[in-house]
Every structure is written in C-alpha cells, then in structure tokens.
Structure 1
C-alpha cells in the first residue's frame, strides 16, 4: 500500500512538473531574445527555438520517466488526432524527397519551420492534451500567456514612444513601429492576436479586484501594442477573434455589462489617443487612419506584392501538388515562379522566402494532401469544441470562447501572414488545451506486458532521442550564430585571421547559405584591401561550396559570378567564360533575375560583346527603369556601338537619378562635344 501511494505521489509530481514546464514555455518563449546578454545575428527567432526545444526535451524526459516508473503508458487523445499524425507523416515524406534536405529538416535561417519544428509543434499539442484536462489548468495557461503578452507589449510600446533601453540600428521597416521581442512588427502582431481574446475572457471572469486590475492592465498594453505594430493582417485577425468571442461566449460575455462597457471604453480611448498621436509620424504606414484606409487597397504596396506571391505559390502547388518542395523551402522553389509583375514591383531586389499565406505556404512545401489533413484536424477540433461548450457553465464557457477565438483569430492572421516559433508554439499548446478541456478526449492505458514492454521502451527511447537531437541541433545553431555574429564584428576590426576562424566555426556548426555568402563576400573584400589574391581565390572556393550546398539558391551563383568577374580585367580571360556559365545557371534557377542579368551584361561588356549585352539590359530596364548600373551599362554599350544619341539618352536618365554621377556628366559633355 505504501509503495502504491509513493508511486502515485511520484506520478503526481511528474505531472505537476510537466504542467509547470508548459506554463514556462508559453511564458518565456515569446520573451526570449539574445540581447543584451549575448551577441547573435539572429537575436529573436533562434533564442526562441532553443528555448522551446530545451523545454520540450524536459517535458519528454518527465513523461518518459513517468512511464518507466508506473510501467504503464497513460495518454489522452481524440479521434481527429490521426489527421494531425497523417500531416506530420506526409511532412516527413516530403522532407525525404525535398529539393534541399537540410532546409527541409531545419528550416530556413531566421524562420526554422522545417520538419523538426513541425514535429515539435505536434509534441507540444500532444503534451498539452495530457496536461490541460480541466478549466482550472486552462485558466492558468491563459494567465501565463497574458503575463507574457503584457511584458512583450510593454516593451513594444517603449519602442514606439522612443524609450527603448536597447539601441537598434538599421531596422528593415518603418520607424516607430513596435517589434518588441519578435524583431518584426508583423510577427509581433501575430502573437498579440492570440493574447487578446484570452485576456478578455480572463478579465470578464476575474473573481477579485486584483485579477481584474492586472489582467485589465495587460489587455490595455496588448491592444495598444497591436495598434502600434501597424500590421493590417493582425488587425483583421484580432477583429475576427473578437467577433468570434462575442458569438461563442453568448450570454456569458454580457453577464457583467459594467466590465464589458469599461473594456469597450478602454479600447475606444486607446484607439483615439494613438490615432491622434500617430498623425505626427509623417509616414502613411505609421499613421493609424491612413493604415486602416490602406487595408482596402489590395492592388497597391505590400498587398499587391503578396497577391503576386500567391500567384507564384499557386503555380508551385499545381506543379508539385503531392509532396511539395519540402518544409520551409518556399524561397528555394519559388525562383522560377516569380511573376514579371512581382519583379517590377520589387525591381528585382526581393525574393519571397514565404508565401505570406499559411495554406499556400504549406501546400507548396509539404503538398496538398498534408494541408487537407491539417485543415481536417483543425476543423474537427473547432467544430467539436463548439458543440461541447454548449454544455458548460458561464465561467467555463468564457474560457472555451477565449481559446476558440484565439485559435480562430490566429488562423485568420496566418492567411495573410506567416508562422514563426514564438507564436505558433503557443498556438499549438492552445490547440491541445482546447481539445483536452472542451472535447470528449479519450483516456487510454497500456500496461507493460511481455513483448509489449520492449516495444514501449523502444518507442519511448526514440521519442527522447528525437527531442535530444532536436535540442542539440538548436544549440549547435545557436553557437554557430554567435560565431557568425562575432565574424561580422571582427570583419570591421581589421583582424582577417580571427574573422576567418569565426566564419569557419559558424559554418562547421550550422551550414546555411547566408553564412557562406557573407564569408565569401568578406574574403573578396579582404583580398582587395590587403592585395592578397589567395583570399580572393578562397572567396571563389567558398562561394562554390555555397552552390554545392544549396544548388537551388540563385543568389549563390550571382555572388560567385560577380567575384570571378572582379578577379580579372582581361577580355579574353577564361574566368569570364566561366562567369557567364554560372550566371546562365542562376537564370535557370530564377528566370526573371535582374541581378544575374546585370552582371551577365557586365561580363559581355568586358568581353567587348556590346550587341549581346544590349537585349539583356533592355529586359533589366523594362523591369526596373531606374536601375543605376543598368542605365550606365546600356549607355556604355550603345556608345561603343556608335549609337551616341541613344547613349546620351541613357546617360541623361542616369544623371536624373544621380545628379552627381561623375561618369554620366563627363560622358554627356564628351558626346555633346563630339556632336558639335
């Protein structure tokens, strides 16, 4: 009897630890970033990935320990979980047959939504189903997310008002947009969409003044920060989630009219104050009224670009509907599907690394059958949860409505945005909590018996091994990015040997195209600075390694060809023939590439093949009329061909773009003098 009680106590303690770690996961993962403690180049997503996988490993070890202690496998599941298992199985098959296996496994740098992460999401869902079996635990989960959301939002608001204690330089978006611990306003806003309905549910059911105050204050911060992120897709998602909350909550939402009026007045006041304050920003993106108005302008700006990306993604799906190109390989596969209109809009300077529509993203990368299974799982979970919540009381109904609305709002956001670890990990835990607390999840127990014992232990060992390997890879990537960031710092400090060592360590720990390209660029630059041809030769070698490692990425070919081009001035040099071959290979990977064509025209110019260069430059200037090098090369080629009048036209266009361009000025004076 004592032994049984002791075993039950151990099992309860392990369950309690699993609950606490899941709560820590939703609390800490959204907050995780490397600054100011450690220098990383990816300061946001990689720390979140490592934190998530370490927590997941801890949960797996605890669950496995519970199985071995009790000699029994006890788990909760639902019938539609099989659809999720099918989705992950197809993602595995897609990875095996992907166009680039390393990317399919690890995901793209700064995104990391490869197979390991997809399976991690599945495990988070599974363990959430095991743990959040009652509304009391779900309420604790909600409050952990609310705390995390409040802290994230507070930091985002400090950024908006210019009070950020950490200096940030060169952010790739408009000033005065909150990005908090996510590094990007769009990604931040996606997380906040999850937090708002959970906060509203807990605020309306708060049983004491203290809870009302802190939850209400957090809701105030989150709503304000959602506005200062100026992310339209998240606004649409949040509006959808609030509407769903009102409908699903029913009478429970209106049971305390005073609270509802108070929060409504708070929302209106925040919106009015920020709308007035944002008028002074001087930019349409950070002007709240102008930004809302632009939501309907789907044929302009970033909305128009996304429509073109969706067209490319749809064609990718049509060509490889069964298994796709492999998880998170959208950028590698999309090069030949870019529309001419997209190239014109971006002037060839942007490559879509994500579809900005989760359904298109997944269908293009893991295949249509996998997406259908995932949609079936989500639809079944939502439908059965809505059906089950009718039988609950008012407090539980608010919790259920909050969960469902958060999931619904995030799914709307994903139709216009993208999935990242910081928010999607929380989403999948919420899905597990929804299924566990509001549906008829089944309890199953399997005892250790004979041959079954060995099979169970083997399955448990495989689960632990997978989690350990995933955590190891995340740690290796984390260390690699530290060395990469150090290499970038050392490259400006005049220490080539230390820089090279850091680059080599980074690539040794985590091979990815960005490290290779930057390493090659540094070696080329150092070769010129120190007059060391060996460094230039090493640059070419590194960029060849990049091509071999990631042969579907057109940029590697472009950087390689440009480095080869700069290494010789002899018009008959065989290096120029090689550069042309490399650039033609780049164009095969990205048919409408402007950078590849500009460098190809430069190669032909250096070979005195002016007539061959002109049609290539004509394509460039049709796509990007204001391209500086394109206009210069066109003018130079036409001048060499004796067409001085046309050459003058392009020199003048160049001068209108850059009034202080010396070569354009000198050429215009020379050609006009010759005409006189």
Structure 2
C-alpha cells in the first residue's frame, strides 16, 4: 500500500514538472496567433496582454518546480558564459538607456502602438534564463521547435486565406492588399515565418520528406512569398545560401553524399539565380518581381532618408540613446523636408532598421550588446556545424539555428521587430544554449550542502521578486486589456456627427482611470475638439467647458505622447476655437518651425480658416498640402465642402474625381457626385 502511494506521488511529481513546459508551449503558440476585434488595438495590446500573462504564469510555475528541486538537493542550472553574458549585456543596455532616457516613464512601460519598454526586456531576460532550465531535455527542445514551426505554418495558412479573400475573422484591411495574417502587418507575419522556416525544413530532411513534415515548410514558404516583403525575400535567399553551404558538412564523413549535397546545393543556387534573371527580363511587370527588384532601389525610398535622419539624431545621443520607445519624440527635433517629402507621416515610431533603431534608442552600448548577442549565436552555430565529432542529429539543428540567425540579421537591415519576434528570438537563444550544452559546450552549476543554505536564501529572495513581478504583469496586462476594450466600446458606439459626447467622455474617463496612457488622453482631446468644431448647435459659451476639458487632458498627454508636435498642433486648434488667437498662432509657429509640412495640421487649419471666412489663408494651407502630398484625401474633401458651400459645382466635381482616383469606392464622395450632377441639372 505504501509503495502504491509513493508511486502515485512520484507520478504526480513527474507530471507537475511538465507544467512550466506546457506554459512555454502555450506562449509560443498563442502569441503569434492571438488577436481580437473586441478591443481598439486588436493586435498590439492583445499580444502584449498574452505575452505578459503567459510569461508570468510560466515564471510562477517554474519557480514552484525549482523550489521542489531545491528541497530534494537536485537543483542544477546550465550556464553558457558567452550567451548568458550577451543576454545580460543587452538587458543592462536597456536599463542604462531607460535611466538616461529623454522620457524614463515611456521607456519603462513602452508606447501604446508598440508595447515594448524596459519591462519587456526584463521579461525577455527572465524568459531566456528560465526557459533554458525547462529545455534541458532534448525531447522537450524538439517539441518546442516543432510547436514554433507549426505556429509559423498557421500564420502562413491565415495569410493564404486572406490572399484569396477568405478571411474568417474579417481583420484584413480592404485597402491593404498584402495579407496581414494574425500579426497585424504582412512584414511582421513574414518576419516571423522566415525565423521558423529553417527548423521546419530540417525536420523534413530528418524525416525523409514525409508529407506531414513537408507540408509545414511549404505553407510557410507560400506565406512568405505572398507577403511581398522585400527584406524577407532577401532573408530567405540568404538562408538558402547558408543552407546550401553548410548542410553538406553534416554529411562530410560520407564523402559521396557530401559531394552530391554540395553539387546539388550549387545547382539549386544556380537555378534560382537563372530563374530570377529570367523573371526580371520576362516578368518585369509582375508584382512579386517588382517587390524583389525594389530591394536594390532602397536608396530611392523614404527609408534611406529616414536612416540618414536617424544617424543625425544618434549623433546627439551617442552613448545611451534617447531611451527605449522614445524614437518618435527624439526624431522630431531632426525632421527634414527631404524626409517628410518622401513620407508625410504624422510621426515615425521606428527607424525601419533594427540596428539603426537600437543605436538611436539605446546608443552605442545597446547596439554593441545587440550585435554581440547575434555574433555569439552565429559563431557557435558555425563552430558546431563544422565540428567533426558532433553528432549528426545535432549538426542538423545547428544548421537550422545558423540559418535562423542569418535570416533574422538580414531581415533587420530594413525592417524591425514586433514583440513576437523578440520573444521568439530569446526563446530560440534559450533552446540554442541548451543544445550547445548537449554538445558539450557549457557547464552545470551545482550547489553543495555548505552552499545550500546561502543559495536557498538567495533563491527565496529572487523567487519572491520574480513572483511579485509576474503577478504585477498579469494584473497590469488584464487592466490594460480591459481599458482598451472600454475604449473600443466607446468609439464604436459614438456617431461622429450626431453622437452623444457625454456618453463618449464617460467611457474615455473610465479608460483613463484604468490606464492613464497619453494616447487615450490625446483621443479625449481630439474627439471633444472636433465635436465642438463640427457642431453648429454649440456656441462659444456652451463649447467652452468641453474645450477646456480637452485642453487639460492634452496638456497632460503631451508629456508622454509619441509625438509632441501632434499634441501641440491639436492644442493650437483648440486655442483657435476658444478665441485665443495669440496663443494659437504661437503654437502653430512652433509646430511648423520643427515640421514644415504637418499636412494633417494644415488641413485642419484650412477648415478653421474656411469656418472663419479667411478663404485665402485656407487655400494657402491646402496648396502646400497638395504640393507635398498630392493624394491627401482629407485635403480634397475639405476643398469639396468649401466648393459646395460656394456653389462652385465644377470645382467640387473635380475634387470628387480626385478623391475617387485615390479611393474609387468612397461611398460618401459618390453621394456628393450624384448630388452635384442633380444640382447642375437644376441650374441648367
């Protein structure tokens, strides 16, 4: 009977030790796939919530498991000085850049749009160190890598469905022809798929190309191709080159197979080169060929100008950078006509280059840490592939790791990481370290009876900190998600033209109470301003308290908002509407001195001038917008309203046609066009 009880206890313990691993699997599967239309930010906030909650549950479950191991005197930790120090180095760089940030608060918590701050790097660092404990078993590593590959295939499958117009969740933006999948953009989806592809391919090789193993890389490859992402095309090509060069070394003990593999690799590369040349000649108008061709014309795009502007910004913050998540605020002091002429975006939240972005926000310290981490991965991968004494099964995996690192490095040359990419990278590093240990590279840290008491005290303190940190993240992530859900409900139920602003403000106040982000405060000010501006039933007296509340929220928001200029521009418009033209002009001049274009601001200024019967000033603003952003629909629509009021139907018709050339299915403009034809017929 006692033996039976002991056996049952042992079985429960054996099962409990797998709980952390199941949580890790849940994290790598859920994070790329999760999204919901019940919140306003259906990708970023949702993925941040999943990341913080699942990682927190993983940490807590693993600490419970480690505590049991410690009580049994069986606590061990696999260490690799090079990789461990690289991860600690990048976390240290994140800490330093936050301490010396131009806005430490934003650097700590991140922005609404990207959700990456120092807290994120703390979670990633813990994820690396604690995942490596869970992945010390070869079988678990294989399961994890398979789960990541399968998830990549699911992302690819969703891209394929969207490509054929079969989006079951209706998240694909109609005007955005490239599949967004479950990642929010085609770039992020393709970036994730190119990271997991090498492991799916190696698995197919190891299983002699069985259908179930081949279908996964085929779906991933198809998802990458239809994404039309140039940097991922380049990354895919580089991965193929690395594979053709290093895979034959796995077969080197068998000279015949080695020579055949090397010859086959060269033939494949030759065929691809010839196919690309032929496609560029005979299929030059194909959209995919055009995207591939545009890789070599990167210097003609806005990214090239953005990179030069980023380097200019780096020169003023060389050591520690502007701080994590402060790129947009830092760049506003260095905006140029050349950059805005290429892309008149309200603000830029990333350099579209992992290395320049890291250099800008984390300085030389951060970039050195980032490059050292990637260099360590590449160096150990190559050394392990070329190691003749290495087991063939491990060499296969190291070829996959080498291709993954290579593809990721190329992807980062002209694109940037989303939260999922970073999580996958650090988990890959943990699996890589564990694989290196199995290959004899690394040490096991054991604790003797003498050091057990001292280590036990350290463990208890560290575990308590990690558990409290995890609980904070789980709760805070839930609150953030709830706030964005309330925000979405408020906007969804608000009719812009005749909506109840009191009801909307009630929702927005609740949102700010839950999560006082600057972006929510800005939204409050934005909607209240336009409610007053567009509402003919309001006079100066009745609109005054509404505008005052909007101004109060905006003055708080400007401290932490991604764009100071966007806040000041809106504040200028509010001041105009309040009748304080002196302050409004001062703010307007401050905004336009830093950013000469500010097309959105100029369009709104023109609307104010039209309303104030200052038509010449309004047209002056619109002409500037047309000059630098000829496809600005808002500018044409503002002109359309003005022409309709002036009863200049020919000019109004021209505005309608201009909008329809940009947006052929604009229902509101089509209605105006029919109305214009009716009025012209009456006039005749």
With the length of structure 1 as denominator, give the TM-score of the two structures.
0.80
Structure 1 counterpart of 2:101 = 98
Structure 1 residues 382, 132: closer, same or farther in 2, change over 3 A?
A: farther
Residues 43-82 of structure 1, C-alpha deviation per residue, up to 9 Å, x if partnerless?
A: 1222222222222112211222133322465322211212
Aligned with 2:81: secondary structure?
coil
**Distance (Å, rounded) in 2 between the aligned partners of 1:660 and 1:51:** 43
Gaps in structure 1 of 5+ consecutive residues: 635-651, 662-676
Gaps in structure 2 of 5+ consecutive residues: 252-256, 640-649, 660-684
Structure 1 counterpart of 2:515 = 510
Aligned with 2:78: secondary structure?
strand
**Distance (Å, rounded) in 2 between the aligned partners of 1:43 and 1:122:** 26
Structure 1 residues 654, 586: closer, same or farther in 2, change over 3 A?
A: farther
- Displacement of 1:630 in angstroms is 8.9
Structure 2 counterpart of 1:669 = none
Aligned with 2:298: secondary structure?
coil
- Displacement of 1:358 in angstroms is 0.7
Mapping of residues 378-417 of structure 1, within 5 Å: 378-389=374-385, 390=387, 391-417=389-415
**Distance (Å, rounded) in 1 between the aligned partners of 2:563 and 2:418:** 23
Structure 1 counterpart of 2:110 = 107
**Distance (Å, rounded) in 2 between the aligned partners of 1:159 and 1:628:** 26
Q: Pick from 340, 348, 354: which aligns with 2:350?
A: 354
1:161 aligned to 2:164? yes
**Distance (Å, rounded) in 2 between the aligned partners of 1:226 and 1:373:** 29
Contact 2:78–2:133 at 8 Å: present in 1 too? Answer: yes
Contact 2:636–2:658 at 8 Å: present in 1 too? Answer: no
Per mean C-alpha deviation after superposition, the further-off stretch among 448-457 and 151-160 is 448-457
**Distance (Å, rounded) in 2 between the aligned partners of 1:552 and 1:116:** 22
Aligned with 2:490: secondary structure?
helix
Structure 2 counterpart of 1:641 = none
1:23 aligned to 2:25? yes
- Displacement of 1:595 in angstroms is 4.7
Aligned with 1:315: secondary structure?
helix
Structure 1 counterpart of 2:212 = 214
**Distance (Å, rounded) in 2 between the aligned partners of 1:446 and 1:313:** 48
Residues 198-257 of structure 1, C-alpha deviation per residue, up to 9 Å, x if partnerless?
A: 1100000016x7xx2122112111111111111011111111122222223224476897
Aligned with 1:76: secondary structure?
strand
Structure 1 counterpart of 2:206 = 205
Structure 1 residues 501, 397: closer, same or farther in 2, change over 3 A?
A: same
- Displacement of 1:136 in angstroms is 3.2
Residues 539-595 of structure 1, C-alpha deviation per residue, up to 9 Å, x if partnerless?
A: 333323322443862101111212332x25xxxx4x111112223443466566455
Contact 2:117–2:325 at 8 Å: present in 1 too? Answer: yes
Structure 1 counterpart of 2:60 = 61
**Distance (Å, rounded) in 2 between the aligned partners of 1:461 and 1:29:** 26
Structure 1 counterpart of 2:573 = 562
1:456 aligned to 2:482? no
Structure 1 counterpart of 2:186 = 185
Structure 2 counterpart of 1:295 = 295
Residues 183-203 of structure 1, C-alpha deviation per residue, up to 9 Å, x if partnerless?
A: 111111101101211110000
Structure 1 counterpart of 2:139 = 136
**Distance (Å, rounded) in 2 between the aligned partners of 1:44 and 1:625:** 31
**Distance (Å, rounded) in 2 between the aligned partners of 1:187 and 1:418:** 8
Structure 1 residues 487, 219: closer, same or farther in 2, change over 3 A?
A: same
Count of residue correspondences: 614
Per mean C-alpha deviation after superposition, the further-off stretch among 240-249 and 147-156 is 240-249
Structure 1 residues 75, 222: closer, same or farther in 2, change over 3 A?
A: same
- Displacement of 1:118 in angstroms is 1.7
- Displacement of 1:153 in angstroms is 1.1
Mapping of residues 214-253 of structure 1, within 5 Å: 214-252=212-250
**Distance (Å, rounded) in 2 between the aligned partners of 1:631 and 1:51:** 41
1:329 aligned to 2:332? no
Moved over 6 A (4+): 1-11, 253-257, 597-622, 625-634, 652-661
Structure 1 residues 526, 622: closer, same or farther in 2, change over 3 A?
A: closer
- Displacement of 1:340 in angstroms is 2.0
Contact 1:558–1:595 at 8 Å: present in 2 too? Answer: no
- Displacement of 1:607 in angstroms is 9.9
- Displacement of 1:163 in angstroms is 1.4
Structure 1 counterpart of 2:679 = none
Structure 1 residues 327, 591: closer, same or farther in 2, change over 3 A?
A: farther
Structure 1 residues 32, 184: closer, same or farther in 2, change over 3 A?
A: same
Structure 1 counterpart of 2:360 = 364
Aligned with 1:297: secondary structure?
helix
Structure 1 residues 401, 484: closer, same or farther in 2, change over 3 A?
A: same
Structure 1 residues 42, 615: closer, same or farther in 2, change over 3 A?
A: closer
**Distance (Å, rounded) in 2 between the aligned partners of 1:226 and 1:498:** 44
